[in-house]
Structure 1
């Protein structure tokens, strides 16, 4: 099973699928998500969770790709 992250398509008004259920987390009270990035696994706070009509779940995190 491939567990690679994929970018979720944004939902827009007028789409023929139901609007996702969105949970926005308060900074400091958000769940954490480990992300595999260039051989490391840093942990990031989840900004929002989107439960999509097709059963998929999308997590929004802010990932810093800067080194050093």
Structure 2
């Protein structure tokens, strides 16, 4: 899937620290969500559908990825 990211407004979590290794997220047209590495903003981005993103963020909130 090719998605035009040229107009995307990327943001970091309010919990990220300056200079840290972070991911950035952008809400895209059609309910899609983009995720990219903040250290490489010109690099590739992962694109999720809205349902996939909801499952992921719900799982995070539940601690589903805690070690």
TM-score higher than 0.5? no
Please give the TM-score of this superposition, normalised by the length of structure 2: 0.26
Higher relative contact order (CA 8 A, sep 6+): 1
Larger radius of gyration: 1
TM-score by length of 1: 0.25
Flag the structure with higher strand content: 1
Higher relative helix content? 2
